[in-house]
Structure 1
Amino acid sequence: MEDFTIATPLWRWQSATAPGAWHFLTIAGDAADGIRLAAMSGQWLDGRGGFGSAKVRAAIGDTVWSTSVFPHKESGGWLLPIKAAVRKAEALAEGDMVTVTISL
């Protein structure tokens, strides 16, 4: 299993037509390249999913969960959605700098 640890700000995306919002971390740089290389070599934790996503294990503080990262065209990296339960458990708010470890 390969791990990538980065610090990046938590940001929120909201649709103009839907009431809910999603929170994400952008995985860019060397970590994004490492994830892409693992994708090409078939080293995914659980395989590839829809929208070009990749299943990974994520850890922030004491919270560890299985999730997916999604390709992000604007940055050339990946997006990691941060669900409400994780934000609550780790007391995270939009704009916070978050250290996350992605394992695959």
Structure 2
Amino acid sequence: MDLFFTATTIEWRGPAPFVFARVPDEEADAIASIAREATYGWGCIPVVARIGGTDFTTSLFPRDGGYLVPVKVAVQRAEQVAVGDEVEVELHLETR
């Protein structure tokens, strides 16, 4: 499954890197429909993500009925992303 969306980055004092992009409801619903086949446990779902020109692997975190995309520090630096920035996010998810 491939998804594309725009999100404003937020800070959440969970695991580092503290900067996350919240997956919009429509895309979160699509992810939820395949979550059982995609998760490796605890509701976390591995993805290949792209912000700007930077590809990276990460895992979506379930949060408040949706999902958060952790924006790694290397991606923050490469794409000059900070809390409150609007970013375009591409996600690729595979079922197992």
TM-score range, shorter chain: 0.7 to 0.9
Distance 1:21 1:14 in 2: 9
TM-score, scaled relative to structure 2: 0.85
Task: Describe the shift of the 1:93–1:29 C-alpha distance in structure 2 as closer, same or farther (beyond 3 A).
Answer: same
Distance 1:51 1:79 in 2: 14
Indicate the residue corresponding to 2:69 in structure 1: 80
**Count of residue pairs brought into register by the alignment:** 92
Indicate the residue corresponding to 2:89 in structure 1: 100
Distance 1:21 1:65 in 2: 14
Indicate the residue corresponding to 1:10 in structure 2: 9
- Segments of structure 2 that go 5 or more residues without pairing to the other structure are none
Maintained 8 Å contact 2:12/2:19: yes
Runs of 4+ in 1 over 3 A off after TM superposition: none
Distance 2:51 2:24 in 1: 17
- Segments of structure 1 that go 5 or more residues without pairing to the other structure are none
- Cα root mean square deviation, aligned: 1.7
Q: CA deviation at 1:14?
A: 3.3
Q: Is it true that 1:34 corresponds to 2:23 in the alignment?
A: no
What do residues 36-76 of structure 1 show as CA deviations (whole Å, max 9, x unaligned)?
A: 11224x2x3xxx23431011111111111111001112xx2
Indicate the residue corresponding to 2:21 in structure 1: 25
Distance 2:41 2:19 in 1: 19
Q: CA deviation at 1:13?
A: 2.2
Choose from 55, 65, 71 the match for 2:56: 65
3-state SS of 1:14 partner: coil
TM-score, scaled relative to structure 1: 0.79
Larger radius of gyration: 1
Distance 2:40 2:77 in 1: 27
Amino acid across the alignment from 1:49: Y
State the identity %: 36
